[in-house]
């Protein structure tokens, strides 16, 4: 018999693992139910107030002119041999220059990097990708096709298809999650890593279980586990939720930020109002609880983490904790008046910070 305080026997360890697993999934599905109930009440409230407006959904047939602005770059497509998927991206800068690969978040697409496409094309081949399931990129129908290992492999395959073996990798939000994982799994492919408003994935999974406030802010992760209902809720009142995410006082771009124009908003509405356009993006989240936590954690290349302190979805404390997982030069910059949509909110400052980081000595020791 094991003495008090001694290590558990193998059967005891197995029981603890099973118990923790059951508790974890009980938390996931319980909170999922809470989020669905809250969404259902909001829907009923909308129907009661404006029944005619609630179910109005306009499909935009023609893209706004900004999506074809030649100053942003050239629209290109690449088909990946192994998966068979065709990816859409916008590229600026001369071929043969060092590659800068940009990964957007949710609910965004390549256009969220418009300020960076213009800025960095002088010295880089800048590629803003539509991730699997987004925009003009192919969208497999089954949620199993959006597991994290598939998304990580996409980036590796795209890099090789573009004729590169290394890049400066930049990711925002969910694209930041993917960027961290690519840097962990394929460190030889990333010269420098830049992440905007997303902590190291291990920090995120550990922090969310210990801080109810972050659990509440991440409620959409749980809500998205439900089939079809999240997609429907986005269409209510002609995509009012989508507009609100970018423009409201609570979650939108800050008062001192670079406000989205009416044409910018129309660009997002054009992409996400197409039939079925939301299922692929939301499927990214429908596998996350089976893929985390990570087995490998360390990031070995120089890393820049940029953070908007007024982020309504991610608590700023996670940014500083991220430092312990980066075994190289790590720079953290927190912008006090910036929102979650940092590279669109404060593009001039963000671009300046990126330039400074890119020109720093890569051999510099971690601060």
Structure tokens at 358: 């890119």
SS3 139: coil
Is 171:180 a contact under the CB 8 Å cutoff? yes
SS3 91: strand
Tokens 């030069």 identify what position?
Answer: 329
Label residue 188 left, alpha or beta by phi (over 0 means left) and psi (-120 to 50 means alpha): alpha
Distance of alpha carbon 319 from alpha carbon 315, whole angstroms: 8
CB atoms within 10 A of CB 25: 12
Q: Kindly give, in sequence order, each residue whose CB lies less than 8 Å from that of residue 339, ignoring residues fewer than 6 positions away.
A: 251, 252, 253, 254, 257, 308, 310, 311, 312, 345
- CA distances (Å), 144 to each of 96, 179, 287, 288, in order? 35, 20, 7, 11
The terminus-to-terminus CA distance of the chain in angstroms comes to 48
User: Torsions phi, psi of 286, nearest 5?
Assistant: -80, 0
Catalytic residue annotation? 173, 285, 340
């Amino acid at each position: 018999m094991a003495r008090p305080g001694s290590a558990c026997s193998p059967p005891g360890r197995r029981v603890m693992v099973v118990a923790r697993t059951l508790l974890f999934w009980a938390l996931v599905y319980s909170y999922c139910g809470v989020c669905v109930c809250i969404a259902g009440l909001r829907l009923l409230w909308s129907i009661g107030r404006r029944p005619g407006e609630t179910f109005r959904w306009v499909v935009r047939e023609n893209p706004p002119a900004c999506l074809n602005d030649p100053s942003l770059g050239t629209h290109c497509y690449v088909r990946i041999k192994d998966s068979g998927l065709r990816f859409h991206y916008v590229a600026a800068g001369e071929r043969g220059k060092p590659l800068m690969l940009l990964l957007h978040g949710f609910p965004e697409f390549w256009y969220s990097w418009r300020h960076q496409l213009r800025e960095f094309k002088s010295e880089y081949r800048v590629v803003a990708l539509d991730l699997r399931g987004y925009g003009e990129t192919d969208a497999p129908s089954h949620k199993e096709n959006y597991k994290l290992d598939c998304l990580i492999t996409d980036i590796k395959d795209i890099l090789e298809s573009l004729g590169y073996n290394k890049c400066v990798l930049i990711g925002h939000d969910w694209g930041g999650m993917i960027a961290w994982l690519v840097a962990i799994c394929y460190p030889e492919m990333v010269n420098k890593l830049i992440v905007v408003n997303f902590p190291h994935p291990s920090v995120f999974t550990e922090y969310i279980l210990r801080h109810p406030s972050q659990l509440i802010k991440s409620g959409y992760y749980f809500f998205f586990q439900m089939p079809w209902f999240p997609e429907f809720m986005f269409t209510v009142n002609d995509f009012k939720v989508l507009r609100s995410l970018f423009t409201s006082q609570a979650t939108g771009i800050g008062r001192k930020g670079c406000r989205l124009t009416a044409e910018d908003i129309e660009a997002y509405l054009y992409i996400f109002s197409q039939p079925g356009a939301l299922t692929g993006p939301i499927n990214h989240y429908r596998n996350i609880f089976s893929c985390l936590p990570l087995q490998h954690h360390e990031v070995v290349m120089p890393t820049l983490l940029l953070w908007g302190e007024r982020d309504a979805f991610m608590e700023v404390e996670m940014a500083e904790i991220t430092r312990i997982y980066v075994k190289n030069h790590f720079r953290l910059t927190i912008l006090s008046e910036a929102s979650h949509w940092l590279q669109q909110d404060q593009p001039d400052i963000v671009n300046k910070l990126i330039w400074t980081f890119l020109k720093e000595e890569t051999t510099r020791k971690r601060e």
